[in-house]
C-alpha cells in the first residue's frame, strides 16, 4: 500500500519561506518520481514541481521557477518542496503525488496522492 503524507504547510508573510515535506510509504518509493501540485479555491489543480526517481532531473512550473526547489531523500522516503520569496498567489492546498507517466505537468501522470497541506501567504 502506497501512502503519501504532506506536512509543513501554514501561514507565511509575502517574501517569506516554508518547507513542505511529503513522507511516503512503500518499498519502491525510490523507483518513482514524485510531484507537487497545488489547488486554490475554485481553481484546477496545477502542477508545481516534479523530481525524477534519481533526483537528477527536476521540473518546475514557470510561476515558481527560481523561487521553489524540489529535492528528495530516498533514505528517508521523503520529498521536500522549499518555497522561498512566497507571494499571496502561492496560497493553495499543496499535494504530493507519485509520478508514473510521461507528462510531468499533468495530473493524469500521477496515481497516488496525499491529502494535502494548506499554505496561506499574507500580503
Reading the chain (123 residues) residue by residue, the pLDDT tens digits are 889 999 999 999 999 999 999 999 877 777 889 999 999 999 999 999 999 988 789 999 999 999 999 999 988 999 999 999 999 999 999 999 999 988 999 999 999 999 999 999 999
pLDDT at 20: 98
- Report the candidate in 111, 102, 82 with the shortest Cα–Cα distance to residue 94: 82
**Cell numbers representing residue 108 in the block:** 493524469
Q: What is the pLDDT of residue 2?
A: 87
Q: What DSSP element (H or E) covers 54? A: none
Cα dihedral 25, 27, 30, 31 in deg (nearest 10): -120
pLDDT of residue 31: 85
Q: State how far Cα 59 lies from the chain centre.
A: 11
What's the pLDDT at 3? Answer: 92
Amino acid at each position: 500500500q502506497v501512502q503519501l503524507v504532506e506536512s509543513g504547510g501554514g501561514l507565511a508573510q509575502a517574501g517569506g519561506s516554508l518547507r513542505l515535506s511529503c513522507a511516503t510509504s512503500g518499498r519502491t518509493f525510490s523507483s518513482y518520481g514524485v510531484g507537487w501540485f497545488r489547488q486554490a479555491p475554485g481553481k484546477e489543480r496545477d502542477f508545481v514541481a516534479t523530481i525524477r526517481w534519481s533526483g537528477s532531473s527536476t521540473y518546475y512550473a514557470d510561476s515558481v521557477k527560481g523561487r521553489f526547489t524540489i529535492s528528495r531523500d530516498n533514505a528517508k522516503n521523503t520529498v521536500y518542496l522549499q518555497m522561498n520569496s512566497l507571494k499571496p498567489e502561492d496560497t493553495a492546498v499543496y499535494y504530493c503525488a507519485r509520478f508514473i507517466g510521461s507528462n510531468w505537468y499533468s495530473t493524469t501522470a500521477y496515481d497516488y496522492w496525499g491529502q494535502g497541506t494548506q499554505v496561506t501567504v499574507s500580503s
